[in-house]
């Protein structure tokens, strides 16, 4: 799975490719914008949190 991590305030983006399902399991079945501890992705992310988002998702309800 590819993760696109971005910081909108500076425009910085980082693309990470994760193959370890155990590391990604903490983000499964979370709602959009739910904050998740990033240390589960690896030691280099210790102390960070991230919010799950879906590109192109809208709040509109279709009939």
Any idea where the domains of the chain sit in the sequence? 2-51
Task: For the chain, give the percent of residues with pLDDT over 90.
Answer: 0
Average pLDDT over residues 29-58: 73
Taking the complete model, does pTM exceed 0.75, yes or no? Answer: no
Task: Compute the distance between CA of residue 38 and CA of residue 35 in angstroms, rounded to an integer.
Answer: 9
Q: In this structure, what is the dihedral angle of CA atoms 34, 38, 41, 43, given to the nearest 10 degrees?
A: -170
Q: Is 50 exposed, middle or buried (0-12, 13-18, 19+ CB in 10 A)?
A: middle
Task: Compute the distance between CA of residue 3 and CA of residue 17 in angstroms, rounded to an integer.
Answer: 6
What is the per-residue pLDDT across 4-23, written as a single tens digit (0 to 9) for each? 777 778 888 888 888 887 77
């Amino acid at each position: 799975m590819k993760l696109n991590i971005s910081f909108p305030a500076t425009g910085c983006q980082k693309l990470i490719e994760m193959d370890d399902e155990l590391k990604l399991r903490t983000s499964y079945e979370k709602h959009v914008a739910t904050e998740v501890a990033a240390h589960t992705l690896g030691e280099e992310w210790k102390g960070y949190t991230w919010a799950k988002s879906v590109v192109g998702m809208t709040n509109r309800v279709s009939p």
